[in-house]
Structure 1
Amino acid sequence: MIKPTRYGAPVARSLVAAIMAELSERYGGDGEGDQTPVEAVEFDPPEGLFLVAWRDGEPVGCGGWRTLSHFSEPGIPEDVAEIKRMYTAPAARKSGVAAALLAAIEESAREGGMRRVVLETGLPQPEAIALYEKAGYTRIPNYGHYRDDPLCVSYGRDL
């Protein structure tokens, strides 16, 4: 089951903390994970939505979208959403949770009037890259906080 959840809710904060810990492991550094500026309000409808995946009463994944034009670079069309904080707990990986979350994020973005979604990931995340490419995402020029990072790879897909 996938349910909308406030980004600041305890379950969301717990999953985001797990994302950050994993990103710190994969990329090294100070333990902060992704340092892209993110505010909880960015995931509030109608400018975004945050989702949590549940299995057997336990949260096993999360992800959301935010309207990129309102929170990022000038000149971005208003109908472009950015996917952020995609995560699947290790025990739920390879079970379809990530694909289901991605589909739910895309559907909610489409329902929110978005025509395109973009995202940043990194070379140390080959599982994420494989997921996005399998879902039809193609490489786009890097953008945002990590635009100049040699480990950053950005993807986009029309909805």
Structure 2
Amino acid sequence: MRSDIFVYTSLQDPRAQPLIEELGREYESRYGDFYLQESGVPEIQRYPAEVFTPAQGGNFLLLLRSGHAVAGGAFKRLDANTAEFKRIWTDSRLRRQGLASSVLAELEAQALRQGYQRVFLTTGFRQPEAVGLYLGHGYQRLFDPRADLQALRKLPFEKHLTSVPSSHAHRPSTNALQASQLARA
């Protein structure tokens, strides 16, 4: 029996650091200096941790298994009705288990709880598995898939939220008491 649980915490949570570091390495391996040429800042460092806090209209989520982060994601306020999802990531050793789908569903549910009606997100042109994830969860492309994806660089998607997802395979517990206790641990 797996002991998976969602925990709302902060980007500075030490449990998040292995995932964030791996995500940064993944960006570097897929894109090299491509994005550095665009802004001079590595993609993983583009947003301060504060934008992913409830005080700023955002949130940061970890999926813990036996106390260790195995997946996560975040969102920030884009406008009064729109949350922008960022940093959806699964430990590379644990992929193909539905963890990213679970994180995506929980982020959508939390965005709804915070009053958002729409999700906007982008993924890079060299991340076909992310494109598949978003399309498989009802996100609409905001780009022409026949276009030169490298020229587009970032591939935008949107989804209008209507209700909290009723169920999802591999969906861990979201017990608020457990989550708040773990977040303070």
1:139 has 2:148 as partner: no
- The 5 Å alignment of 1:44-123 reads 44-46=53-55, 47-69=57-79, 78-123=80-125
Residue by residue over 1:81-131, the C-alpha shift from the partner in whole angstroms, topping out at 9 and shown as x without a partner, is: 000111001111110100000000000000000000010101211111100
- Any unmatched runs of 5+ in structure 1? 70-77, 143-147
User: Residue in 2 aligned with 1:34?
Assistant: 43
Contact 2:35 2:43 in 1 (8 A): no
Structure 1's 85 and 55: CA in aligned 2 closer, same or farther, altered over 3 A?
A: same
- Deviation, 1:30, is 7.9
User: Residue in 1 aligned with 2:13?
Assistant: 9
- Deviation, 1:37, is 2.8
- The 5 Å alignment of 1:18-33 reads 18-29=22-33, 33=42
Structure 1's 116 and 30: CA in aligned 2 closer, same or farther, altered over 3 A?
A: closer
- Deviation, 1:149, is 5.1
Residue type matched to 2:52 in 1?
F
TM-score after normalising by structure 1: 0.83
Q: Which has the higher contact order (CA 8 A, sep 6+)?
A: 2
Residue by residue over 1:34-56, the C-alpha shift from the partner in whole angstroms, topping out at 9 and shown as x without a partner, is: 16731111111150110011223
State the SS of the aligned residue for 2:109. Answer: helix
Contact 1:49 1:65 in 2 (8 A): yes
Residue type matched to 1:57 in 2?
G
Structure 1's 121 and 26: CA in aligned 2 closer, same or farther, altered over 3 A?
A: same
Q: Name segments (4+ residues, structure 1) moved above 4 Å.
A: 30-33
State the SS of the aligned residue for 2:138. Answer: coil
Percentage of matched positions with identical amino acids: 32
Count of aligned residue pairs for this structure pair: 146
User: Residue in 2 aligned with 1:155?
Assistant: 157
